[in-house]
A and B are shown apart, each in its own frame.
Chain A
């Protein structure tokens, strides 16, 4: 049997992005021994890519804002499929989490009277996003990282978890490997918090890094936990479409928040056509009103003018761009134009410095003079591990989750800026939940040697296999399958075809051959990553098949409308002896006092 090293902690946090770091800080502050495991180096997680800002109803720029409005915006953005309690906790606690970050050293952009500045974003009634130019995520992760290194938890960098271990029904730890030498590591832990991010690498055009391979979702699923809402995958409306090397790279929604205008090949400002009738009154009526709103935004002034149509929700803007391109009104490289060049160049450079450099250096486009070309890119999954809102507890004892790997907070569609606040609010809660659970447990549950041995054998198998495909080829085939069959618009026929293809891909992924040694071998790492992606892709596709309606980010060509019946259920995937079973489960009922917030008299139109 392979020798391995063993580490023991009360709480093992997996993933060192915003949620993982915040969870580790909290569990550690509560007196637990904490291990933080990350596939990458510390500080490189996808949180660094978050640009536009963190949503919190601080009411610094628009004093009318408050948690109730943030809650309403979030529920509406998510087409009411969100867990009401998560949306409530999030809206109520986000301002404290942002202030806390500031007290830990973060330097947000300021208002003229010296407080944290806030900017507009799609779906938010008021200017609500605390930000640092367009590098908010970097500021957040660096602040948490620097806080974390003095907190006293152990960080295991470039270590990848491959299996959760259980003692009966409870979590007991995990098996992992070190990337640098391929050595096996066993963690013994009372509680595991999964903060592993999303699944974006299942698609070809994506804003996500190599890390986004559904590890947490697959680990939890294999351990018996429930995944919900997996069919809701957000396609961010504005990714770069050219040159090919940068296709999918994110163009922050901050561009639209700062006044960016979307136009088609004919110069038409098309977003007005696509506003949902029920929400049209929330947006500017014409170019003049939109322009006045931008002028007020530039000066961080309050205004009664309504926001431009470009600030509709992401699902809506993505579909609009997709439709414009499909109907032949796209830009030369298959996107549409996003224009901020009409604003003063120095302002654009100051407010969107990363975007300015990104386009200048990677596409030879000066965004202060020329429009950008943009199109939808796979960005985020609203679904994931089902958790209990207050504690982040999953449906397996000792398993917790937060951030993108968890579900419930965003419903059918996530508002921009709600992810960074989600990480802070629920990262903290999951860390606290795991710590409380671990403290309640006397001793660390036992790990099973045979289970470890089986996992290690499985993990090493591709290295000694005489023949088989390259994992890169299987990954490419999976991305083509999901890109063409499970994209922005879905249909029964496509989804059924995708399921058949995924069945084949599962077999192919399990039979790959890996060249080279165990020492820092990306091909070997990908061999396991692809299996996780296939698991998540199956849950996404099965959920999408069952959800015979269009809601939020999930659009069915064959069912273009919302079905009120399906608005009362989550699609829930569990592992059974016969494979994956996906079925509807009832959505929790919102209490009367929160329901009352949606009565017309109480709604303010911004």
Chain B
């Protein structure tokens, strides 16, 4: 049995059911060269289990719909090549753990969309000049590569293990806030939101989110840590506090 050379067969153990009643069902799938886990799920749908629920759109790692946990790791199914798994061993496919299960591989990710609504919108500074250099936006453009697959949300222990969704926005939305904060023309002040509602203090920089990001965004280093630094400067740095008291400058951009 081989996973990559064609002509072989791979074994899949797929989570079927919902939170109340579920089981792991085994499927044998014929393998073609270059095949990914999502291809196998589609084959199972078309040939064995027509009601197998899965989300997907682009199949090109651009839309972030087909997030799941493959052999225990959060991953996009469309990017998980069969020949990267050990030949002869079953491949386990399960839904993301952090979100409530709808059915099979589909989870209810609506909480993420609720968080997004609460983030203060982009607000251009008055009289800003709409000209900037590429180097001024490289950092923010990195964050805007985010395809909202929510794998970082899935792996984040604050959300996954401690279930603090009501206190913490999660890496995806800290990335989104960082993109807004680092926009050259933006004039909104989101630091109170970052500190109090997004709960940035809860992140203790384990970098799990950066590891699973399919867009290779340096979530922790480039988005979260700089935001943490801004919060510390504003709210917890005594020297800066005294300086602001003297100068009357409040540290906003």
Contact A209 B45 (CB under 8 A): no
Contact B103 A519 (CB under 8 A): yes
Chain A residues, CB < 8 A from B186: 105
Known: A49-B62, A114-B131, A245-B32. A132 touches B141 (CB 8 A): yes
Nearest B residue to A527, CB-CB: B50
Known: A246-B34, A520-B104. A103 touches B124 (CB 8 A): yes
In the complex, how many angstroms separate the beta carbon of A410 from the nearest chain B beta carbon? Answer: 22
In the complex, how many angstroms separate the beta carbon of A464 from the nearest chain B beta carbon? Answer: 14
Contact A48 B58 (CB under 8 A): yes
Expressed in whole angstroms, the Cα–Cα distance for A413 and B180 within the complex equals 38
Expressed in whole angstroms, the Cα–Cα distance for A521 and B147 within the complex equals 25
Known: A44-B65, A48-B147, A244-B33. A107 touches B137 (CB 8 A): yes
Contact A243 B33 (CB under 8 A): yes
Chain B residues, CB < 8 A from A43: 63, 148
Contact mask for chain A residues 522-547; partner B; CB cutoff 8 A; 1 contact, 0 none: 11100000000000000000000000
Residues of B169-223 contacting chain A, CB below 8 A: 180, 183, 186
> How many residue pairs at the A-B interface have CB separations less than 8 Å?
159
B: interface residue count bin = 35 or more
Chain B residues, CB < 8 A from A146: 116, 121-122
Chain A residues, CB < 8 A from B45: 472, 522-523
Whether, in the assembled complex, A55 has its beta carbon less than 8 Å from a beta carbon of chain B, the answer is no
Contact B113 A42 (CB under 8 A): yes
In the complex, how many angstroms separate the beta carbon of A308 from the nearest chain B beta carbon? Answer: 25
Chain A residues, CB < 8 A from B35: 243-245
Chain B residues, CB < 8 A from A150: 117, 121
Whether, in the assembled complex, A166 has its beta carbon less than 8 Å from a beta carbon of chain B, the answer is no
Contact B60 A49 (CB under 8 A): yes
Known: A43-B148, A470-B50, A516-B51. A361 touches B57 (CB 8 A): no
Contact A138 B62 (CB under 8 A): yes
Contact A520 B103 (CB under 8 A): yes
Contact A354 B117 (CB under 8 A): no
Contact B57 A46 (CB under 8 A): yes
A: interface residue count bin = 35 or more
Contact mask for chain B residues 101-136; partner A; CB cutoff 8 A; 1 contact, 0 none: 011101011100100110001101000001111100
Chain B residues, CB < 8 A from A147: 121
In the complex, how many angstroms separate the beta carbon of B181 from the nearest chain A beta carbon? Answer: 12
Nearest B residue to A246, CB-CB: B34
Whether, in the assembled complex, A4 has its beta carbon less than 8 Å from a beta carbon of chain B, the answer is no
Contact mask for chain A residues 17-47; partner B; CB cutoff 8 A; 1 contact, 0 none: 0000000000000000000000011111110
In the complex, how many angstroms separate the beta carbon of A252 from the nearest chain B beta carbon? Answer: 11
Chain A residues, CB < 8 A from B18: 519
Residues of A208-224 contacting chain B, CB below 8 A: 209-211
Contact of A149 among B63, B103, B117, B140 (CB under 8 A): B117
Chain A residues, CB < 8 A from B134: 109-110
Whether, in the assembled complex, A363 has its beta carbon less than 8 Å from a beta carbon of chain B, the answer is yes
Nearest B residue to A108, CB-CB: B137
Known: A107-B183, A149-B116, A246-B34. A472 touches B58 (CB 8 A): no
Expressed in whole angstroms, the Cα–Cα distance for A470 and B51 within the complex equals 11
Whether, in the assembled complex, A75 has its beta carbon less than 8 Å from a beta carbon of chain B, the answer is no
Whether, in the assembled complex, A87 has its beta carbon less than 8 Å from a beta carbon of chain B, the answer is no
Expressed in whole angstroms, the Cα–Cα distance for A249 and B130 within the complex equals 36
Expressed in whole angstroms, the Cα–Cα distance for A166 and B62 within the complex equals 38
Contact B61 A521 (CB under 8 A): no
Expressed in whole angstroms, the Cα–Cα distance for A149 and B144 within the complex equals 17
Whether, in the assembled complex, A451 has its beta carbon less than 8 Å from a beta carbon of chain B, the answer is no
Contact A361 B61 (CB under 8 A): yes
In the complex, how many angstroms separate the beta carbon of B69 from the nearest chain A beta carbon? Answer: 18
Residues of A454-492 contacting chain B, CB below 8 A: 470-473, 476
Other A-B pairs, 10, CB within 8 Å; known A45-B57, A514-B51: A44-B64, A105-B180, A107-B140, A150-B121, A249-B60, A354-B62, A362-B34, A476-B46, A514-B50, A523-B50
Can you name 11 A-B pairs with beta carbons within 8 Å? A40-B55, A49-B63, A114-B131, A135-B62, A138-B144, A149-B117, A210-B57, A471-B50, A476-B46, A519-B103, A522-B54
Cβ-closest 3 pairs across A and B: A243-B34, A516-B51, A523-B50
Taking Cβ atoms with an 8 Å cutoff, the residues of B that contact A are: 18, 32-36, 39, 45-47, 50-65, 79, 81, 102-104, 106, 108-110, 113, 116-117, 121-122, 124, 130-134, 137, 140-141, 144-145, 147-148, 180, 183, 186
Taking Cβ atoms with an 8 Å cutoff, the residues of A that contact B are: 40-46, 48-49, 102-105, 107, 109-110, 113-115, 132-133, 135, 138-139, 142, 146-147, 149-150, 155, 157, 180, 209-211, 242-246, 249-250, 354, 357-358, 361-363, 470-473, 476, 514-517, 519-524
